[in-house]
Amino acid sequence: MTLFYLICGSIFFTFVSVNEKKRYFLEIAYDGTAYHGWQIQPNAMSVQEKLNHALHTFLREEIETIGAGRTDTGVHAKQLYVHFDSSQPILNDNPSRALQALNALLPFDISVQRILTVAEDAHARFDATERSYEYHLHCQKNPFLINKSWLMRDIPDIEKMNEAAQYLLGTKDFECFSKSNTQVFTNICTIKEARWEQNDEGFVFHITADRFLRNMVRAIVGTLLEIGVKGKPISYIEDVLASKSRSKAGVSVPAHGLYLTRVIYPYIQEN
Q: What is the pLDDT of residues 202-216, one digit of tens each?
A: 999 999 999 999 999
Residues of the chain with CATH 3.30.70.660: 130-264
- Residues marked as catalytic: 72
Q: Is the pLDDT of residue 3 over 70?
A: no
Per-residue confidence (pLDDT) for residue 53, from 0 to 100: 96
Amino acid identity, position 124: A
Q: Is the pLDDT of residue 99 over 80?
A: yes
Binding residues for substrate: 133
Binding residues: 133
Per-residue confidence (pLDDT) for residue 71, from 0 to 100: 92
Q: What is the mean pLDDT of the chain?
A: 91
Task: Choose among 113, 144, 121: nearest CA to 262.
Answer: 113
pLDDT range class, residue 70, cuts 50, 70, 90: confident
Residues of the chain with CATH 3.30.70.580: 22-118
Q: Is 225 in a helix, a strand, or coil?
A: helix
CA dihedral 189, 192, 194, 200 (to 10 degrees): -130
How do 203-209 and 76-86 pair as beta strands?
unpaired
Average pLDDT over every residue of 232-258: 96
Per-residue confidence (pLDDT) for residue 182, from 0 to 100: 66
Of 3.30.70.580, 3.40.50.1820, 3.90.1300.10, 3.50.50.60, which CATH number belongs to 22-118?
3.30.70.580
Dump the DSSP string for 12-44.
EEEEEE-PPPEEEEEEEEE-GGGSS-SS-BTTB
pTM comes to 0.90
CATH architecture of 130-264: 2-Layer Sandwich (3.30)
